[in-house]
A and B are shown apart, each in its own frame.
Chain A
Amino acid sequence: MSRVSSPTFRDSLSVSFTVGAYGVAFGAAAVANGFSVLQSCLLSLLTFSGASQFAVIGVIGAGGGAISGITTASLLGIRNGLYGVLMAPILKVRGLKRLVAAHITIDESTGVSLSQEPRGINAMREGFWLTGFGVFIFWNLFTLAGALGAEAMGDPSAWGLDAAVPAAFLGLVWPRLKNATDKTLALVAATFAIVTTPFLPAGLPIIGTAVLAIIAGLRSAK
């Protein structure tokens, strides 16, 4: 790899550490929802996409089946595919490097990379790899710490873990609420999920809101 320019390195490292630290919340939440420490760590190593990971533990933890959990997580993972579309022409990698690049194509690596545009294509590539690997390392270490910590705690409610999970989801969605459509959709989706919970099988009240998103997208496109 070519010499790393220091502003890019700084950006990548600060994002990696800050975001990686959320891994504590994920590890703790996964264990609080009934997953083992090993399963929690495997999700961080192999799925490696925060929102999808929280979704699968959230849906299955709430009593939804594996299919509901996987579907919800996968719908949240679609955006990583779109990031790949953006990153491929910038990275221009083949073979093994491309397979590795795909695994670390997430919100943060893409975001830092695109933010380096004024510094040139090399800085964009460096930002992607540094942030991708950086988040990967910290996210996994912190997941292990959170999972072990939660396992040692016992009753999740006594430590507030059962409230930490929805708070984490809220923290993920809050910055995305930029205009009236976003905010209305968030409120309608939350209401839909609560109101349908007594009638629909677990998991469906969550996945069902994807339809609301499509309707909102079609309406706002007019």
Chain B
Amino acid sequence: MDTLWIGVIGTSLIAYALKLSGHSVPEKFLSHPLIKRINLLIPIALLSALVAVQSVTTKNSIVIDHRLVGLGAAILALIFKAPFPIVVLSAAITSAAFYNFF
């Protein structure tokens, strides 16, 4: 079994186990303020890291290319409070234009 299949199946199994565990544990167990606080911060750290890695790295090196231009467009769209699909589309269109014409 290759990496992709292990990723698909492993992620799915653990995702469901996490969801089900929430429906099974007593409320006070996970309602500690610090746990809640860290639970809000972990997605921020991981998603920000993913933004960075996906936009300026390729394999094990730092690569500045058309993707960063696309990300700039996404940031602009977010500053102007554009909805999610517009954010993604503006990044794709800008990046594609840069990739194809420069």
Binding site for B on A (CB under 8 A): 18, 21-22, 25, 34-36, 39, 42-43, 46-49, 51-63, 65-66, 69-70, 72-89, 98-99, 101-103, 105, 157-174, 176-177, 181-182, 185-187, 189-194, 197-198, 202, 205-210, 212-214, 216-218, 220-221
Contacts of B37 in A (CB 8 A): 217, 220-221
B61 → chain A, closest Cβ, in Å? 6
| Chain B residues positioned under 8 Å from A176 (CB to CB) | 40, 43-44, 47
B residues in contact with A84, CB < 8 Å = 19-24
Nearest Cβ on chain B to A5's Cβ, whole angstroms:
25
Which residues on the A side are within 8 Å of B91 (C-beta)?
160, 163-164, 166-167
Can you show 14 pairs from A to B with CB atoms below 8 A apart?
A79-B43, A82-B39, A105-B23, A160-B93, A161-B92, A163-B94, A166-B54, A167-B88, A171-B74, A172-B43, A187-B48, A198-B60, A209-B45, A217-B41
Check A78/B39 contact, CB under 8 A, given A39-B8, A166-B55, A169-B51.
yes
Cβ–Cβ contact A77 & B84, under 8 A:
no
Q: A85-B27, A163-B91, A213-B38 are in contact. List 10 more A-B contacts (CB 8 A).
A: A42-B12, A46-B8, A79-B43, A85-B31, A164-B70, A166-B54, A170-B47, A193-B50, A197-B57, A198-B62
> Judging by beta carbons under 8 Å apart, are B95 and A160 in contact?
yes
Q: Which chain A positions have C-beta within 8 A of B90? A: 167
Which residues of the partner chain B approach A162 to less than 8 Å between Cβ atoms? 54, 66-67, 70, 95
In angstroms, Cα B51 to Cα A191, docked, is: 10
Contact yes or no, A73 B51, CB < 8 A: no
A164-B88 contact given A209-B45, A221-B34, CB 8 Å threshold: yes
Question: A81 contacts B22, CB within 8 Å?
Answer: yes
Residues of B within 8 A of A (CB): 3-8, 10-12, 14-16, 18-25, 27, 29-31, 33-34, 36-57, 59-62, 66-67, 69-71, 73-75, 78, 83-85, 87-97, 99-100
Which residues from A are CB-within-8-Å of B14?
70, 73-74, 77
**Could you tell me the distance between the alpha carbons of A85 and B44 in the complex, rounded to whole angstroms?**
21
Report which of B5, B42, B45, B70 forms a contact with A163, defined as CB distance below 8 A: B70
B43 contacts A51, C-beta separation under 8 Å: yes
Q: How far is the CB of A107 from chain B (nearest CB, A)?
A: 10
Complex: chain B residue closest to A98, CB-CB? B23
Separation of A160 and B34 alpha carbons in the complex (Å): 40
